[in-house]
Amino acid sequence: MNRILEPELMNSLEQTAAYAGPDMDNACWLFVQSFRKYFRNLTPKGTILDLGCGPATIPVRLAKLYPDYEIHGVDGAPEMLAQAGLAVRREGLQQQIQLFHGILPDKLTLPYKGYNSVISNSFLHHLADPAVLWQAIHAYGLPNAAVLVIDLVRPEDPQQAQLVVDRCLPEAPPMLRQDMLLSLHAAFTIDEVRAQLAEAQLEKNLTLTMPTPFQFAAYGHLGLDG
Ligand SMILES: C[S@@+](CC[C@H](N)C(=O)[O-])C[C@H]1O[C@@H](n2cnc3c(N)ncnc32)[C@H](O)[C@@H]1O
């Protein structure tokens, strides 16, 4: 099926509260487990930048696993950042996690020019132009930075998309199920992601795989020249 764009920013209170709730736990769990699996030899101290951090569920989990890492999250939706701020304060992680408002591809104002790791979960499919994410990874990743991007893969037809929603979010609120359906329509196929990596000259650095039947993961390290 053809790609149907969805709005880039998630800024409604209902949407952000639902997104911060327990229904999205599995997706965040998969991301954090994948990060641990792919990057077993991370330096003990460092910095992580999360692009499109949403309610900061992933930064919070990573902060607990990597207490000597500073984690910066960026999102373009003020309402989503408010949810993220609540989560960070609830967990008492203000010293370790900082949140920034920024809308890619605008230049981000961040404390560091480059990060040891650049990550992004379920963000690519929001972008009208997917090159924006891959360019940001080049722009904000230090040489040899660890990179992990996970997102949905667009199914072949609407029926398959509905099956994925039924399987992943059987009991979720209707709004969240509808959001996921729209996201599946907005997502890229694995061939499209492969072409994006080639276009961004990342295909030699990042391995493309499918950790589930409906998600891709692109992971690896940037080159020594960033
Ligand atoms: C589906 S959510 C994923 C949130 C988070 N990564 C997670 O997995 O829980 C996508 C997020 O990207 C943000 N976003 C979309 N387009 C953006 C852009 N161009 N610049 C910055 N943030 C953007 C949205 O506001 C939303 O919070």
Task: Give the pLDDT confidence score for residue 23 in this predicted structure.
Answer: 74
CA atoms of 113 and 165, how far apart (whole Å): 39
Which of 49, 75, 133 for a ligand 1 pocket mutation test, highest count of atoms within 8 Å of Cβ?
Answer: 75
Pocket flag, ligand 1, residue 133 (CB < 6 Å): no
Give the strands of the sheet with 141-152, arranged side by side. Answer: 97-101, 69-75, 46-51, 115-121, 141-152, 215-221, 206-212
> Which residue ranges make up each domain of the chain?
13-221
Residues contacting 127, CB < 8 A, separation 6+: 8, 104, 133
Q: Tokens standing for 199?
A: 């276009």
Pocket flag, ligand 1, residue 10 (CB < 6 Å): yes
Cβ–Cβ < 8 Å for 124, 188: yes
Task: Write out pLDDT tens, residues 98-146.
Answer: 999 999 999 999 999 999 999 999 999 999 999 999 999 999 999 999 9
Looking at the predicted structure, is the pLDDT value of residue 226 above 70? no
Per the CATH hierarchy, to which homologous superfamily does domain 13-221 belong?
Vaccinia Virus protein VP39 (3.40.50.150)
Task: Write out pLDDT tens, residues 137-169.
Answer: 999 999 999 999 999 999 999 999 999 999 998
Task: Determine the atom of ligand 1 nearest the C-alpha atom of 50.
Answer: 6
Can you give the pTM of this predicted structure? Answer: 0.96
